[in-house]
Structure 1
Amino acid sequence: MVEKSQKVSVGRLLAWNIRPISFGTVTILMGYLSMFCTDSLKMSPVLVGTLLMASKIFDGLTDLIAGWIVDNTNTKLGKGRPYELCLIGTWVCTYALFASNVNWSTTAKSIWLLVMYTLVWSIFGTMMNAAEAPYIIRAFGDPMAITKVSAYGGVFITLGCMVVSIILPMLIGKYAPVPGGWQKIVLMLAVPLLILGLLRFIFIKEEFNPNENSEEERVGLKDIVNALKTNKYVWLLAIVSMIPQMMQNLLERHSLKVV
């Protein structure tokens, strides 16, 4: 007999996995950020690459803090579910990024780019990623149900992002050359995908508590500091994670120089 926690309806499956498509669209959009900065804002490719690289370094610090915040969260909505609202901030800041004005000074454009990009990835994106694991565990409960959601969701998310990857270049080709075109592109994607992305927060509640029969051990800031001091593998993992990001930024800078 299949337990209730193992059953996953199609509606819950779709509601859960539309949010990753929404956030995945932001990721795809960010792939065109360097083009926007150099072509529309007339910024130096070297400056753009340096600012994005600096933001990635800050991202490593917020990952640790985000985990601690989520671990110590206990609200009526649950532990991970409240951070789904960070999707709103993600899309607002993404729009703000592409709403930058070419008439601003280089300093203003640089500060705006660094702040908005950092908010998207190091704050809102990091909080959603940190809350993903506790949210799915408390939403579906059974390991088999979680496996089903992740497996079928992976296919659904891949297809959804594939569609976005096909549509986006066509939108850029049509609207990017027009004044205010980038803002139109982001809005055309942001409005429906934000609404759909919030379906997870609205309909998927945290119905299970894996620690209800045992005392939950919480991680404190002192534990994080001790881990950084004593566990060399934490630093190795940070370096390994940072290298691909640095290489990506260097390649983007090189390609923009060539163009």
Structure 2
Amino acid sequence: MSKKQKKKGAGVYPWAWSTRGLALGVNSILLMQVSYYATESAELSIGLVSTLVLVSKLFDGITDLIAGFIIDKTKSRWGKARPYELFLIPTWILTVLLFSTPDIGTTGKAIYFFVTYLLINAVCVTFLSSSEAVYLGRSMTDESIRAKALTVSGILSTIFPTVVSIILPLLMNTWGRETGGWTKIMLVFAVPFTLIGLIRFWAIKELPEEQLQEASGETTKESNDVSMKEMIRLLVHNKYIFILSAACLFCAVINGMNMTVGSYFFEYYIGDLNQMSVVSMLGLVSPFALVLFPIAVRKIGGLNFVKIGLVLAVIGNVIKFIAGKNMVLIMLGSFISTVPGASALLMIGSIFVIQCMDYGQWKTGVRLEGPVNCVYGFASKVGSGIASGLAGALLGAAGFVGASETQTASALTAIQMSYSIVPLIICVIMLVILHFYDLDKNGEQIKQNLIGK
């Protein structure tokens, strides 16, 4: 590694790298309120909204695969992954439009909602997520600096969205009840975070191809020469990306359930939406646990760090369940759940995705970057769609009625279970899945073998 790169890694790189992540993190927080907006403001049924969100995620399976293929074929003056950072601009524009659904009848609103939401996730976020780990791997070759960048990114990508999640319920409780109020809420965040998110594009360049080949080892075949059919065949041989993606999917389900059901939990079960802001403040604690991540990579391995977070999340959700309406216990359970919490996998997942890229290259002789990353990104988006569909199914079956002043006892029970027991069960499932991901301890040896080829 050159002195110039070391200087960049020790200085501006981690901070510049984090800007797009925190901007997209804020966007994700806002999108998690789409079901609440659609039922309470656009007056669509929760069953219809959940179905539309879930169906839109199915399209991601096609677009993610196509995006990964396009990224691996990309050759531009900006590099392979860097150009796709610009998809952040239409992401924010479409988000403002999504929360500005016109009053054109139920069918018209449903079509408008579906198309706009589909464009955000199946096109814009698809290219952003599919290029994430590729961009990281091609702009920095030092593993320790990558870990530092993901740590800083994880901290900032949690602090900023958490601050937004504190402010958002207050805005929802005021502007959200006004005509055009949701549009104002989205613009408050869209303008500054679009500008912040583009800093990474302007500040970080991809490394020369020769330096990347020296760092990762030569491949027997260039990924640019791989057809779509062969790409799929090579992906099938990479078992670890599917194990990792399965865990990522369930992680996204947890996050989606907490945000989707959280609004209903505090609105109807607790009876005060503003209390959601109080609990959201606890999220400011969780990113500081990520300061330990670079140490964990060296001492116990990054995966063990994630597993510890999952165990804490299980304990925290048990406390949330037995808390009832006791806000002290709810806050305690939420605090334990978020240090570092189940979402740790999503925050630092790029490290494991790069391990999967190395493994695929070692096993097949071909380094797939975009396709490997898109499988992981696809799992995350499908997980958020499943969260919305699952929440809609559970609440709908229990008799939940949107925009109602009161809910039935069965609906309140479903809300409470969805906010605690369902995430608890999913955390246990994630622990079981990650038991089969043993690449973390063998990743360095595989990388050395590649360099030695």
Taking a change above 3 Å as real, the CA distance of residues 108 and 18 of structure 1, as seen in their structure-2 partners, is same
Does 2:167 align with 1:160? no
Q: Name 1:180's counterpart in structure 2.
A: 180
Instruction: Say if 1:5 and 1:141, in contact at 8 Å, map to a contact too.
Output: no
CA distance in 2, matches of 1:130, 1:161: 21
Q: Deviations over 1:86-131 (max 9, x none)?
A: 0001111111101111x21222212211111111111111111111
Matching residue's letter, 2:114: L
CA distance in 2, matches of 1:214, 1:154: 31
Instruction: Say if 1:78 and 1:206, in contact at 8 Å, map to a contact too.
Output: yes
Q: Name 1:144's counterpart in structure 2.
A: 144
Matching residue's letter, 1:38: T
Instruction: Say if 1:87 and 1:124, in contact at 8 Å, map to a contact too.
Output: yes
Q: Deviations over 1:149-205 (max 9, x none)?
A: 112322222222211111111121121011110000000000000001001111111
Identity value in percent: 36
CA distance in 2, matches of 1:247, 1:94: 19
CA distance in 1, matches of 2:385, 2:45: 19
Q: Please say which of residues 218-227 and 38-47 is displaced more in the overlay.
A: 218-227
Larger Rg: 2
Q: Name 1:95's counterpart in structure 2.
A: 96
Matching residue's letter, 1:138: R
1:250 pairs, out of 350, 366, 390, with 390
Q: Please say which of residues 44-53 and 184-193 is displaced more in the overlay.
A: 44-53
CA distance in 1, matches of 2:203, 2:242: 38
Question: How far 1:65 sits from its partner (Å)?
Answer: 1.2
Q: Please say which of residues 193-202 and 165-174 is displaced more in the overlay.
A: 165-174
CA distance in 2, matches of 1:232, 1:157: 29
Question: How far 1:58 sits from its partner (Å)?
Answer: 1.1
Does 2:229 align with 1:222? yes
CA distance in 2, matches of 1:244, 1:133: 20
Q: Please say which of residues 179-188 and 44-53 is displaced more in the overlay.
A: 44-53
Q: Please say which of residues 151-160 and 61-70 is displaced more in the overlay.
A: 151-160
Question: How far 1:255 sits from its partner (Å)?
Answer: 3.5
CA distance in 2, matches of 1:222, 1:70: 16
CA distance in 1, matches of 2:68, 2:150: 21
CA distance in 1, matches of 2:136, 2:85: 12
How do 1:1-259 and structure 2 match up within 5 A?
A: 3-7=3-7, 8-101=9-102, 103-209=103-209, 210-211=212-213, 214=218, 216-218=222-224, 219-226=226-233, 241=379, 242=382, 245-255=385-395, 257-259=399-401
CA distance in 2, matches of 1:46, 1:231: 38
Higher-RCO chain (CA-CA 8 Å, sequence separation at least 6): 1
Matching residue's letter, 1:58: F
CA distance in 1, matches of 2:25, 2:150: 15
Q: Which runs of 5+ in 2 are unaligned?
A: 251-378, 402-453
Q: Please say which of residues 194-203 and 108-117 is displaced more in the overlay.
A: 108-117
Taking a change above 3 Å as real, the CA distance of residues 34 and 124 of structure 1, as seen in their structure-2 partners, is same
CA distance in 2, matches of 1:155, 1:235: 27
TM-score (norm 2): 0.52
Instruction: Report how many residues are paired.
Output: 257
Instruction: Say if 1:91 and 1:190, in contact at 8 Å, map to a contact too.
Output: yes
Instruction: Say if 1:140 and 1:208, in contact at 8 Å, map to a contact too.
Output: no
RMSD: 2.8
Taking a change above 3 Å as real, the CA distance of residues 60 and 163 of structure 1, as seen in their structure-2 partners, is same
Question: How far 1:225 sits from its partner (Å)?
Answer: 4.7
TM-score (norm 1): 0.88
